[in-house]
Amino acid sequence: MDKAIPEKKLHDGTSIPAIGFGTYTLNGNEGVHAINSAIDVGYRLIDTAYNYENEGTVGEAIRRSSVPREQLYITSKTSRTLP
């Protein structure tokens, strides 16, 4: 597959997609469909957050996706601040 989205190399040598799909406001079946559409067109980094209250929607979209989980990167932010 030709990579349309460039990657960034992290300090540990891991490469992740430089562009991700944000899921703020995506919930329910419409959210699952939107996230699956993003995956279908090539997004592999999916961003969610505890405060979006849609991690279940993101999980369901991943379960329904035809792309293997190992090819997806999921980021999630918490509401807690670290010291």
Which of 24, 43, 50, 52 is flagged as catalytic? 52
H or E element at residue 64: helix 55-64
52 is known as an active-site residue: yes
Q: Are 51 and 29 in contact (CB under 8 A)?
A: no
C-alpha distance from residue 37 to each of 1, 9, 13, 30, 82 (Å): 17, 26, 29, 10, 34
Tokens encoding 39: 């995956």
Q: Which residues are catalytic?
A: 52
